[in-house]
Chain A
Amino acid sequence: MSSAAGNRWGLPDLGLGVGLRPAHFRHVVENWPGMDWFEIVSENFIDTVGPPLHYLDRIAERYPIAMHGVSMSLGSTDPLDFEFLGKIKALATRVRAAWLGDHVCWTGVAGVNGHDLYPMPYTEQSLRHMVARVRAAQDFLERPLVLENPSTYLRFRASTMPEEEFIARLAEEADCALLLDVNNVYVTCRNHDLDPLEWLASVPWDRVVQIHLAGHTDHGTHCIDTHNGRVIDPVWELYAEAQRRRGNTATLLEWDADIPKFQVLQREVARAVRFRDARKAANG
């Protein structure tokens, strides 16, 4: 783990990690494989005291853990769920989470949860709404949130600014950190006929503390963020660009469907090594 943070909170570069999934719990605790760190889906360890928490406790003793959630619904117009945030906070304390976060999205409204990462209309009103909620959540959690750009499949006519501008302004005005998912940048740009390099040009790099890599499914007419395979070359190119702009950053591979053996994940995330130190090399 490097302490050369390069972000305004001094959060460390944890190195290369993978998403911790139930299919690999036993392999990890029986073999303690080489891996710099793990990311967990926070919701998988809340309201349970069964086997998942048992394994997580053991793994958290040996590896840094970052928490990544899917249910804070920070863009929703429903009230913030402080009971749920309390559970997130308790879990973060329990596993000594390096950081915790969620997505720039909403997941439900009017008391109904769609369990998906729904896109925001990128308007001034939405921005004000989300800034206030991110600030409130951060105050309650007593730490910065690390928010991820989601993959999106539609755009609201009401939007008055590009997604990347919305996210950059949200990060500045709510004073939160960012998780840059380069696969999501690729998927979103494919779905909205955008240039991913232009998207990256708007990123406030001093707020990026983590990068996600993942595979997706290309349907020809659109891409879906399925996390079911290897990272394709154009996404690696975006990762290389991010490393050039940001410098070494905690990097995590997500693989959530058709999950292979752990060794496959190890080999896939290790491919990121060749892009590390790119900034140093570029600066001579």
Chain B
Amino acid sequence: MADAGSAGLDRLERWMLAVVTHAGGSARGLRHARARRQIDVAVGDIERVVTRSSRLSAIERLDIYAEAYWLRLVEVMANEYPTTRDAMGERAFDAACRAYLARHPSTERLLLGLSAKFPDFLARRLRGKRGAALAVSLARIERAMEDVFDAPAGELLSPAAMAALPAAAWGRMRLELTPAMRLLALDCDANSHMTALRSRRSASRPRPRPAWVLVHRHGLRVLRTSLTREQYALLRLLGRGVPIGRAIARSCRDLRVSADRLPALLSGWFRDWAATGLFVAARVG
């Protein structure tokens, strides 16, 4: 532990970061072991480390950085999870963000991955609480939207190129899906709820039930598409490199549709997916 007045650069930096990132504010941060390991100074002696100005005490000056730390990072998360925030309410969301950041402080240069673990964190934090299914499902969709926004999309396989593929080889063909895509299995139909809110329609809170969503980027647009259980299963298998024929057989065996209508139904799915840039390559074998 260094003397407060002569602490070296490394100790000063570690001390200041420990103080201004403490969830309880600077004064409590000063007393925390993480700060005291660097410089052991009490609030009353803080001017041995930080000077006062004519209008602010040393601890008030540290508080400027402490408040900015939490405000900035919570604001970043609020921008990433606006609908989750609306569903939870501002206070509950803010508290969840602060708890998350205390557990998962940023270790990256960029803010892109700051809240990557937030949906899982929220699922643990809200387990068994009212409204948990909606809040967590919304968070998973909004996380996916952030991820695909920045992800590479790959060279798209156009609908025309899809149509030109030899029909006889379709069953053995493997499709490569765009990396700018996420498949979500959720605990409620949060996607329809989000769509209603975004179009300023009133929406009652959906009840918990299984729901599936595709989130992907097509050009500059991020798309959210509700899926059936079979569509979700089919896309998951295709994404794992399972040939189309086997993927259809495994995912659609419980589909309640007559055999003569199945080809048209599947053809429609693939046409829509190709038209929105879901496939980037096809190969036989």
CB-nearest residue of chain B relative to A54?
B220
Among B40-55, those with CB < 8 Å from A are 47-51, 53-55
Min distance, Cβ B40 to any Cβ of chain A, angstroms: 15
B211 on the interface (CB 8 Å rule)? no
Contact assessment for B9 and A121 in the assembled complex, using a CB-CB cutoff below 8 Å: yes
Chain B residues whose C-beta falls within 8 Å of the C-beta of A77 in the assembled complex: 9-10, 13
Pick the interface stretch among A111-119, A231-239, A259-267. A111-119
CB-nearest residue of chain B relative to A121?
B12
Contact assessment for A123 and B9 in the assembled complex, using a CB-CB cutoff below 8 Å: yes
Contact assessment for B149 and A50 in the assembled complex, using a CB-CB cutoff below 8 Å: yes
Chain B residues whose C-beta falls within 8 Å of the C-beta of A84 in the assembled complex: 109
Contact assessment for B72 and A116 in the assembled complex, using a CB-CB cutoff below 8 Å: yes
A47 on the interface (CB 8 Å rule)? yes
Contact assessment for B64 and A156 in the assembled complex, using a CB-CB cutoff below 8 Å: no
CB-nearest residue of chain A relative to B15?
A109
Docked Cα-Cα span, A116 to B21, in Å, equals 11
Chain A residues whose C-beta falls within 8 Å of the C-beta of B110 in the assembled complex: 43, 46-47, 71
CB-nearest residue of chain B relative to A191?
B53
Contact assessment for B50 and A51 in the assembled complex, using a CB-CB cutoff below 8 Å: no
Among A93-152, those with CB < 8 Å from B are 106, 108-116, 118, 120-121, 123, 125-126, 129
A224 on the interface (CB 8 Å rule)? yes
Chain A residues whose C-beta falls within 8 Å of the C-beta of B112 in the assembled complex: 47-48
Min distance, Cβ B215 to any Cβ of chain A, angstroms: 13
CB-nearest residue of chain B relative to A194?
B53
Q: How large is the interface on A (under 10, 10 to 19, 20 to 34, 35 or more residues)?
A: 35 or more
A157 on the interface (CB 8 Å rule)? yes
CB-nearest residue of chain A relative to B114?
A115
Docked Cα-Cα span, A54 to B48, in Å, equals 51
CB-nearest residue of chain A relative to B54?
A193
- 9 further A-B contacts with Cβ under 8 Å, apart from A114-B69, A220-B55, A222-B56, are A43-B109, A47-B112, A48-B112, A112-B106, A113-B106, A113-B107, A157-B48, A157-B51, A222-B61
Closest 10 CB pairs of A and B: A48-B150, A154-B61, A77-B10, A221-B55, A109-B13, A71-B109, A153-B64, A51-B220, A113-B106, A49-B152
Binding site for B on A (CB under 8 A): 43, 46-51, 54, 71, 73, 75-77, 81, 84, 106, 108-116, 118, 120-121, 123, 125-126, 129, 153-158, 191-193, 220-222, 224
